Amino acid sequence: MSNSSEKALWKRNVTVLWFGVFMTGIALSEVMPFLSLYIDTLGNFSKQQLTFYSGIVFAASFLVMAIVSPLWGKLADKKGRKLMMLRAALGMSIILFLMGFVTNVWQLFVLRALQGAMGGYISNSNALVATQTPKEHAGHALGILVTGMTAGNLLGPLFGGTLASIVSYRMSFHITGVILFLVFLLTLFFVKEEPRPVTNHSTEVSTSKLWQSVPNKQLIFGLFITTMLVQAVNTSINPIISLFVRELTNNSANTIFIAGIVAAMPGIATVIAAPQFGKIGDRVGTHRMIKIGFAIATAALIPTAFVTSVFMLMFFRFIIGISDATMLPAVQTLLSKNSPANMTSRIFSYNQSFQSIGSVMGPMFGALVASVFDYRGIFIFSAILIILNAMLFMFNTKMLNK
């Protein structure tokens, strides 16, 4: 293949896959503002029941995703990454479309679980771009994909809230399903995966043997726990966010749209602050930035429990996004610096698994705490979790201070 055609190929792949990961990010996050309100239309539930069902339905997708992702990853290595992306896009398209037809909460629960089982579009997009792009452009191409995923997760709640306000809950699922079918078609006809020779040497070495070569296992595992607990705190409010906004706005007609804005605030803050905090971390120390993030999160979560207006809620959720901007990229940097070169990808995949577990734990704990202590109790519980996380982190990184 000539240099010009290879250049055109990887650029086309990146363009199509950017749209694909963008829409996948939206599909995963758009339900946050109205999921609990949609569930409320599927039966006559008490406040406690509604909170519980919102938690398990929201968590179902992430739980199944955490379980099946490694299986899809192995299959992708054997059958090709494009095939796995086609499977994921078509599967999510059908499942999202069907969500608009459910008649009870358990049908929605099953479809949410199947949505998680159909995951893998984003991870395989990253893998395909990494292997199909010339080395001198790989970092740039992967950076473009990251912006697509971040933008999708960021705009998803706003997109979902706006869409549900303009049309309806059910039509929102139908429209998203159609868009994901478009992603399937674009991937089928415009993404090209050239077969590349692969060596099996790295896969012959067992993970347990590679783990023995990690110089600081306590630090690595501690960072996994940090990621999991930060994600649990981030997602603990998700199942009840629209219910809390409805309570703060006295059942305003714009509840869904406002809930979408509230849900988007952490993402907006993270996108704005992350580059600046990354530069600061290079100067003052990455592990110190994570400690600063713990302090910011605690200072934001406690007063959130006492907010009296939705604008105060937006402000403190924005501050939570700033704390994420100090912690999450810093964790990735520490993992990279302390992982052997031949195990870096596996370390990062484990960290992703722990993040998925946090996405399951957060909504479940949030729903449980809300059912016992009301919505505001979630923020006090989250602050306690952050403090415990900070104590564990300081214990696991004490050697970095020497």
pLDDT score, position 172: 87
CB-based contact 268:321 (threshold 8 Å): yes
Average model confidence (pLDDT) across the chain: 79
The pTM (predicted TM-score) of the whole model is: 0.68
pLDDT score, position 149: 72
Instruction: Indicate if 210-402 has the same CATH topology as 1-190.
Output: yes
Exposed / middle / buried, residue 268 (Cβ in 10 Å: 0-12, 13-18, 19+): middle
Q: Which of 114-128, 169-183, 215-229, 341-355 has the lowest mean pLDDT?
A: 341-355
- Phi and psi based region of residue 150 (left: phi greater than 0; alpha: psi -120 to 50; beta: remaining): alpha
Q: Binning pLDDT at 50, 70 and 90, where does residue 266 land?
A: confident
Query: What single letter denotes the amino acid at residue 338?
Result: N
CA distance 260 to 159: 8
Q: Binning pLDDT at 50, 70 and 90, where does residue 222 land?
A: confident
- Per-residue HEC secondary structure of 97-160 comes to HHHCCCCCHHHHHHHHHHHHHCCCHHHHHHHHHHHHCCHHHHHHHHHHHHHHHHHHHHHHHHHH
pLDDT score, position 302: 92
Q: What count of residues does the chain have?
A: 402
Average pLDDT over residues 312-317: 92
Both tokens of 92, joined, read 């999510």
Judge: domain 1-190, CATH 3.50.50.60.
no
Q: Binning pLDDT at 50, 70 and 90, where does residue 342 land?
A: low
pLDDT score, position 87: 92
Query: What single letter denotes the amino acid at residue 183?
Result: V
pLDDT score, position 113: 92
| 184-200: pLDDT as tens digits | 998 888 888 776 544 44
CB-based contact 74:123 (threshold 8 Å): no
CB-based contact 120:84 (threshold 8 Å): yes
The structure tokens 């937006």 sit at 314
**Which of 64, 69, 83, 186 has its CA nearest to residue 120?**
69
| 350-395: pLDDT as tens digits | 777 787 788 778 877 888 888 888 888 899 999 999 999 889 888 8
CA distance 291 to 269: 18
In degrees, rounded to 5, the angle at the alpha carbon of residue 385 between the alpha carbons of residues 117 and 249 is 80
pLDDT score, position 139: 57
In CATH terms, 210-402 corresponds, of 3.30.2350.10, 2.40.10.340, 1.10.1040.10, 1.20.1250.20, to: 1.20.1250.20
Evaluate if residue 402 carries a pLDDT over 60: no
Highest-confidence segment of 118-132, 205-219, 339-353, 385-399: 385-399
Domain boundaries, the chain: 1-190, 210-402
